[in-house]
Chains A and B, each alone.
Chain A
Amino acid sequence: MMKPATPSQVRVVTFKINDRDVSARSDETILQVARENGIRIPSLCYVEGLSVWGACRLCLIELNGDSRLLAACSTRVEEGMEVLTDTDRLRRYRRMIVELLFAERNHVCAVCVSNGRCELQNLAQECGVDHVRVPYRTAVYHVDASHDWFRLDHNRCVLCTRCVRACDEIEGAHTWDTMGRGINCQVITDLAKPWGESKSCTGCGKCVQMCPTGALVRHGTSVGEMEKDRGFLPYLSRMREAEWE
C-alpha cells in the first residue's frame, strides 16, 4: 500500500485554503491541514491512520485556478498554493459522484442497520443529493453471514477498501482484498471464500468499525442500530509507526 513520498527535509509552509491563511508542515497533505483548521472537505475512502487510497475522488480540490483538479488526500502542501475546496464546479461534480455511488449498488437507507450513522448518507445530505438522476442498476448482490459475529452485505459496499487496508496495515492479517474489475469489482475474504471459513481472519472486527456504510456490520443489529467506533485507530496507527521508526 502506498504512502505519499516524504520530502527529505520537512519545512513549515504557509498557503491559502479558501482565502484563509494556514500554516503546515511540508510533509502534510492538503486534506490533513484542512481538517486541522476545521475546513470541511468531503471524503470517503480516506481515514487518518490508514494509507492513502485516492479512489473516491470526493476530496478533489481546485488549485491556483488551474482547471486540473487534485485529490486533497494525496497532494502535499506547498508554499504559496491557493486551494479552493468549495466552488460551484466541485459541488456539482461531488454530487454526481455520490449519485453514481447510490445508483451503483442497492443502498436502501430505510431498512439499513447503519441508517442515521452512515457516512454515505451524510455525504448525500451534505452534497444536496435529493434525488438520483442516473438510473439505478438494481443488480443482485449476495450477503455473506457465515462469520460468527459479523456480516458482509455487498449491496451496501462502496469499495472504499478501508476494510482491506485496516486488516492489512493495522491488524496485519490481510484477510480482505478485492477481485474482479470495473463494475464487477468486489471485496473478498481470503481467496473469495465465505468469511466464516476464512483461515486468516482473527475476528478482531476492525474492518467492521472502519466500514463507512452498512456493508460490514455486527450480527444482531437492527435498522439504525449499527454504531461504529473508530477510537482505536489513531492510537494503533501511532504505535505502529513508532514501532517502524
Chain B
Amino acid sequence: MQLEELSELAAEIQESQQHCDHCVRVCMAAGCQSSGAKVVFDALSEKTAESEHVCVKGVGCMGLCAAGPLVEVTSRGQAPVMYQQVTEADAQEVVDSLGGAPVERLRCPSDMPFFTSQHKIVLENSGVIDPEQIKEYIAADGYRALVHAVTEMTPAEVLREVDVSGLRGRGGGGYPAGLKWSTVSKMPGGDKFVVCNGDEGDPGAFMDRAVLESDPHRVIEGMVLAGYAVGAAHGFIYVRAEYPLAVERLTKAIRDATKQGFLGQNICETRFSFDIEIRLGAGAFVCGEETALMASIEGRRGQPRPRPPYPAQSGLWGYSTLINNVETFANIPPIIRRGGAWFASIGTEKSKGTKVFALAGRIRNTGLIEVPMGITLRDIVFTIGGGVPEGSQFKAVQTGGPSGGCLPEEFLDLPVDYDTLRQAGSIMGSGGMIVMDQTSSMVDVARYFMEFCMDESCGKCVPCRAGTHQMHALLDKIAQGHGSVKDLALLEELCEVVRAMSLCGLGQTAPNPVLSTLQHFRMEYVAKLQEHALPDGGPPASERSATPPAESQETTS
C-alpha cells in the first residue's frame, strides 16, 4: 500500500461517516462500563435503530471517570454536547433532544478547565473513535506514519526522528527512547525483538489500560515502526490478565491490522515483515520490571536478573530486545507523522512532549488527563482536577505509585518533569497520582505502600525479600503507636540498605514512600512515637511478639 492509497481509503471512510447528522458517542472504557455504560449504550442503540440519521458509537475513555457514564452528542453544524452520569432511563430523553435543545439536566460543562487545559497527543483518538473499528483509526490519520515510514523512509531516518523528538521512556525510568532504539539497532545479529510493556500494576494507575482500551491500533503502529527502525521482525505485547477488555480489543486490533496488511508478512508490499503476539501476565507486579517480564515471556518464573547485560545486549532468549512502555509506543506514530521537532517543541528542556496521568483519591475530577510536561502540580490538582472535595483540606499528592513519594503543599508549584520530581524526593513514575486530604495518616500511607511492595517482592534477593518484611513490621508497630525512637532509626537504616542493595527497581524504590513521608511529614511519625510514651500507650504483653531490638539476641554459637 502506498501513501496515496491510504489517503484515498481514509477519505472514503470519512465520507461514509458523513451520512449521519447526529453522532452519539458512549464512553465504553472500563471506568464508565463499571458504572453502567453498557446498558446506556444498548438503550441508545435500540431507540435509534430505525433512524438513519443517528449513529451510536462505543468509544474509548473520555477522561472524566468521576462523572461516568459519559455520552457525547455531536450534531452537524453544532458544538458537541457532553452528558454525565447518564442512566438507561435517560436514554429516551437524550434521543428526543437530538436536533433540538440539549438536556440541561444531564449536561457536563465541557468548557471547564478539566477539558480545556489538556494537551492530547497520546489520547487524541481516545473518546473519539470506536477502538474496535480499524476504519475509524485509519480515518483519523492512523497508520499514516507506518505507511510513510515503510515506503519512503530508511530505518535510520525513523531513528533520527525519535531521537530529535527527545521522547523519554514513559514507564517511569525516563530513559531516552532514541538512545535505546539506536543501541538495539546497532547490535549485530539477525533476530531482534520488540516488547511492549503493558504490565501496569501501580495502585491507582490506569493510563496504559486506557490507551490499550481506547486506541489499541496506535500501540500496534508504534511497535511496527520500532520494529522497522531497529530491524526486528517479532513483537510481544505483555498485558496483565486483569485487563480483559484491553486484551480483547488488542486481539481484534492485531487481527484487523494483519488483514489490512499493516502487520505480518511484507508490510505494504515491502520486504519488511513484522508480527505481534500477546502474552498475558499472571498478576505479579514484579513482571513490570523488564528482565522479569522477559523471563515471564520465555515461560520461566518472573524474576529479575542483574543488569548488565541490558535487554538491548541480551534480551529475549539471548537476542537483542527493545522494551518500551505502552505510552512510549503510543507517542511514536504522531512523532513520525508530524516530525520529531514538533514533539520537541512541547514540554520542558529535558522532558519533552506530554504525559498521561491518572487522577485518583480525594479529588473532584477523578479520571485520566494528558498534560504537557512542565505544568505545575498545582495546575493538575486544583485547576484540572478541581481540587479536593468540599470540607477537605489538601495534604499531599502521591506520584509514582509504590516507587514514588508524597509531596506536600509547598511542592505544588514545581514543574512536573522527570528530574524535578526526583529532586523533590518523588518520581514521575508511570503516571499515577493519588491526592490525599487531612484524613490520611502519612504513616498509614507509607505502611500501605510497604505492604504492597512486601507482597509483590519476588523473593529472589535478600534485601527486598527480608527487608521489606521488616520495614513493614516496623511501620505497623509505629502506626499502632507502639514504636520507639530506636524503631524509627532502624527503619531509616533499613530504607538505606534496601535502596542501595536490592537487585531490581522494585526493591531499590520500595523505601521511597517511607523516605518521602519521613522527609516531609516527620512530625506525624514523631507524634506516633509519643503515643508510646503515654502511661497507657505501651503494648499489652500479649502483643509483644517481637523482642525489641534494644535487647540484643545472640546469633552465633
Contact = CB atoms under 8 A, between A and B. Distances in A.
Interface residues of B, number: 46
A182 B503 contact: no
Nearest to B551: A131
B554 A131 contact: yes
B270 interface: no
Interface stretch (B143-151, B303-311, B356-364): B303-311
B549 A134 contact: yes
Contact of B456 (A103, A177, A182): A182
B313 interface: yes
Contact of A180 (B459, B473, B502): B459
B467 interface: yes
B497 interface: yes
Contacts of B555: 99, 102, 107, 109, 124, 129-132
Contact of B462 (A2, A97, A178): A97
Q: DSSP majority for the A interface?
A: loop
A139 to B, nearest CB: 10
Contact of A115 (B301, B305, B500, B557): B557
Given A136-B547, A182-B456, A101 B462 contact: yes
Contact of B459 (A73, A121, A132, A184): A184
B275 to A, nearest CB: 26
A131 B490 CA distance: 14
B501 A93 contact: yes
Contacts, number: 139
B470 A52 contact: no
Contacts of B461: 54-57
Given A57-B501, A115-B557, A183 B466 contact: yes
Interface string B443-476: 0000000000011111111110111111001000
Interface in B538-557: 545-549, 552-557
A61 to B, nearest CB: 12
Interface residues of A, number: 53
Interface of B: 284, 286, 301, 305-306, 308-309, 313-314, 454-463, 465-470, 473, 490, 493-494, 496-497, 500-503, 545-549, 552-557
Contact of B314 (A5, A54, A60): A5
Contact of A134 (B454, B465, B494, B556): B494
B502 A57 contact: yes
B467 A100 contact: yes
Contacts of B455: 182
Given A178-B459, A181-B457, A132 B553 contact: yes
Contact of A183 (B457, B496, B500): B457
A121 B556 contact: yes
Given A52-B306, A57-B462, A182-B455, A135 B546 contact: yes
B459 A183 contact: yes
Interface string A39-68: 000000000000010111100100000000
Nearest to B550: A133
B556 A159 contact: no
28 contacts: A4-B309, A55-B460, A55-B462, A55-B503, A71-B503, A75-B306, A76-B308, A92-B497, A93-B497, A109-B556, A109-B557, A115-B557, A121-B556, A124-B555, A129-B555, A130-B552, A131-B553, A132-B552, A134-B490, A135-B473, A136-B546, A136-B553, A137-B469, A159-B462, A181-B286, A181-B459, A182-B459, A185-B459
Contacts of A92: 497
Interface in A70-119: 71, 73-76, 92-93, 96-97, 99-104, 107, 109-110, 115-116
Contact of A96 (B313, B494, B545): B494
Nearest to A183: B469
B494 A178 contact: no
Contacts of B496: 93
Contacts of B456: 181-182
B306 A54 contact: yes
Contacts of B473: 135
A104 B462 CA distance: 9
Which of B308, B455, B490, B556 lies at the interface centre, i.e. has the most chain A CB atoms within 10 A of its CB?
A: B556
Contacts of B463: 57, 97, 100
A75 B503 contact: no
Contacts of A54: 305-306, 461, 503
Interface string A198-224: 000000000000000000000000000
The 10 closest A-B pairs by CB, nearest first: A185-B459, A131-B552, A135-B546, A54-B306, A5-B309, A74-B306, A100-B466, A182-B457, A109-B557, A104-B466
Contacts of A56: 461-462
A146 interface: no
A14 interface: no
A115 B555 CA distance: 12
A191 interface: no
A101 B466 CA distance: 7
Contacts of B308: 4-5, 74-76
Contacts of A133: 490, 549, 552
B556 A129 contact: yes
Nearest to B305: A2
A145 B470 CA distance: 30
A192 interface: no
